[in-house]
Structure 1
Amino acid sequence: MMRMSRRVTSCCVALFLAFTSVSAIQRLNSINDLKRIDFGHTVPKHSLLLLHWFANIIDIDSNNVIWLTFNPNNEDYGSHHYGNYDNLLDPLPYGNIRYYTVDNLNQATSSAQLPNYVVHPRGEYEGRNRDRIIFRVREQNTGWQTLRRIDRVYITQHYEASGIQGTYDPDQTYEITTNLLIQIREFSVGQNLWSLEHLRDRFGSNANDFQLRDIRNTWGNLACLGLLLFIVIQDRYNRNQHSYRPQHEARGNSQLHSFDNFPATRQSHWNTDTSDTCTIVGLILLIVMILVIFGAVSSGGRIR
């Protein structure tokens, strides 16, 4: 009886740890959500370069289905199987489905195949090879080809402490939705540089014409990527600085930015509230499950 109780307790604890690690992952649904991440401090800026590359190497069809365009089993772009042994992500459902990770820059295949702006980024965007993309793939063999459909995408990073190198930090792991990938694809490399004005206005950036001209001169054919980085990193800094101004100062411009920020702010609060609610409900269900199991074990002991 005592041994059975200990086994039940161990299983419940393991289940609890697995649940809490998965439920803690935040979902990023838009570029406005990306602005909430502290790139350059808790998360390497290089993650944005890697995410930009990934969003533009995959294929997204008219039904918003994501298709993988390379074979991770051949270690294309340095990709390889990820076993999820630390229960960072959801357990795999039944079927021919696996997790993969990509971007170990120390591998020869990734260094040779990934674009130069990812392998040799500008100094401030170097990431010490800690950031990774994890994606979940469902394979379907049609007889003459294998189709690989992606149904989950995450950005994450290794722990910085060398003693636990090789495991990922759940506090800095984020799920990337299809909608966010589609938005990032609008900043693809080689676009008409004059589309910067359109992208600036579409995503509510406060970049002025002088800053756009500087982005063009600095980034060249990567100007759209440079604008994406400006929107996610610099706009956030500028708006945080702006929020400390007295309310009567620059009233016209501040009101404009306040209305631009309102939908993103509301969405961020909604995401946080929803995540907290799901976590609480899940914990309640877990507690009920533990009580039911212990009740069953106790009843069995009394019957004997």
Structure 2
Amino acid sequence: MRRMSGRVMSCFAALFLALASVSAVERLNSINDLKKINFGQSVPKHILLLLHWFANVVEMDSNNIIRLTFDPNIDDFGSHHYGNFEGLLEPTPWGYKYYTVGNLLLDQRGQLPDYVANPRAEYEGRNWDRIVFRVRLQNTGWQTLQQIDQVYITQHYGLHGNTTYNPEHTYEITTNLLRQIREFSVGGNSLSNLRDRYGSNASDSQLLEFRNIWGNLACLGLLLFIVIQERYNYNQQSARLQSGSTVGNNVVTQPYIPPYIPPYIPPYNFQGPRQNQGNDNTFLLVVLILVVICIFAILAAHK
């Protein structure tokens, strides 16, 4: 009997681990992955400005270790502790804490750079976008080193204290992506080199326009162009080809008119995180396998 109960408990433990694994958020590992997000409709463009700032304010070494350069415990840049009460992210192990940054109203000392705090009109948001990062506190003598092991972009919204984070637009940001974004630093690398490195179709005249409009933020302007504008141009070209008709050997395309998409307004009565369809299918498959394993374990215990 004890043997059977032990097997059953093992099955339930495996089921618990499976449930935890399927609730993971989508991971973005490169700038190409950033292009998959619908910036400007379901996700504010402003979050790219915030992410660009964060990638350049933290420190990263050759071992992909990320360290904070500011103290979130004293509200630097308006940052503060995040309790994860909605269950948006996985529970923190002992010695770890989540923090959040991005609330422009809490940046009372004006520490955030002007391009984040007062962006160009096209990139203004509703102060919804946030970066959540998990910190491991490591005590080394008189000094406490704060090492980041997880970074997320998400949205925070609500009214009159009834606020929440949006799990449908929460993404994990890898160290590799942060490194790529750092290459577009303020007054940094050559625009033409960045264009060629990331396969952009920006012309020389467009690069000159970035310099004239963005000044020392020209690299940021190119990053926004790659992530937002080139993605839109690709979708537009695909739509034109799909709407075209053939006359002889020529393809005659109809003028493409982008469909009207109403501005994204998240539900304020959100009650908890929802998994996407892919995770639902994975969940059902894992549960089915675990049920079969449990049945065989119970039958074997009775032999």
Aligning the two structures, in what range does the TM-score lie when normalised by the shorter sequence?
A: 0.7 to 0.9
Deviation of 1:190 (Å)? 1.6
Shift of 1:162: 3.6
Contact 1:101 1:135 survives alignment (8 Å): yes
Distance in structure 2 (CA, Å) of the matches to 1:249 and 1:26: 42
Give the match's secondary structure for 1:63: coil
SS in 2 for 1:38: coil
Q: Which runs of 5+ in 2 are unaligned?
A: 1-11, 252-275, 296-303
Structure 1-normalised TM-score? 0.75
Say if 1:139 and 1:149, in contact at 8 Å, map to a contact too.
Answer: yes
User: Quick check: 1:84 aligned with 2:84?
Assistant: yes
Give distance in 1, aligned partners of 2:222 and 2:22: 34
Residues 31 and 283 (structure 1 numbering): CA distance in 2 closer, same or farther, change over 3 Å? same
Query: Is the counterpart of residue 22 in structure 1 residue 23 in structure 2?
Result: yes
Question: Structure 1 unaligned runs (5+)?
Answer: 1-10, 251-274, 295-304
C-alpha contact (below 8 Å) 2:152/2:173 kept by paired residues: yes
Alignment equivalent of 1:170, drawn from 153, 167, 170: 167
- Name the CA distance, whole Å, in 2 between partners of 1:249 and 1:237: 25
Instruction: Indicate the residue corresponding to 1:147 in structure 2.
Output: 145
Give the whole-Å Cα distance in 1 for the aligned partners of 2:292 and 2:231.
46
- 1:269 counterpart residue number: none
Aligned equivalent of 1:218:
213
Q: 2:135 aligns with which of 134, 137, 145?
A: 137
Contact 1:21 1:89 in 2 (8 A): no
Return the offset for 1:184.
Answer: 0.0
The equivalent residue for 1:124 is 122
CA distance in 1, matches of 2:141, 2:164: 37
| CA shift digits 1:55-75 (9 cap, x unpaired) | 000011011111111111111
- Say if 1:21 and 1:88, in contact at 8 Å, map to a contact too: no
Supply the AA of the counterpart residue of 2:31: I
Indicate if the aligned counterparts of 2:22 and 2:282 stay in contact, CA closer than 8 A: no
CA contact 2:22–2:283 (8 Å) conserved in 1 = no
> Quick one: percent identity of the two aligned structures?
60
**Residue aligning to 1:62:** 62
2:198 alignment counterpart: 203
TM-score computed with the length of structure 2 as normaliser: 0.75
Indicate if the aligned counterparts of 1:131 and 1:158 stay in contact, CA closer than 8 A.
yes
Residues 147-193 of structure 1 deviation map (CA, whole Å, 9 limit, x = unaligned): 1111100000024x54884210100100000000000000000225x
Query: 2:178 is matched with which residue?
Result: 181
Residue 244 of structure 1: how far off its partner (Å): 3.6
Query: Taking structure 1 as reference, are residues 21 and 100 closer, same or farther at Cα in structure 2, changes over 3 Å only?
Result: farther
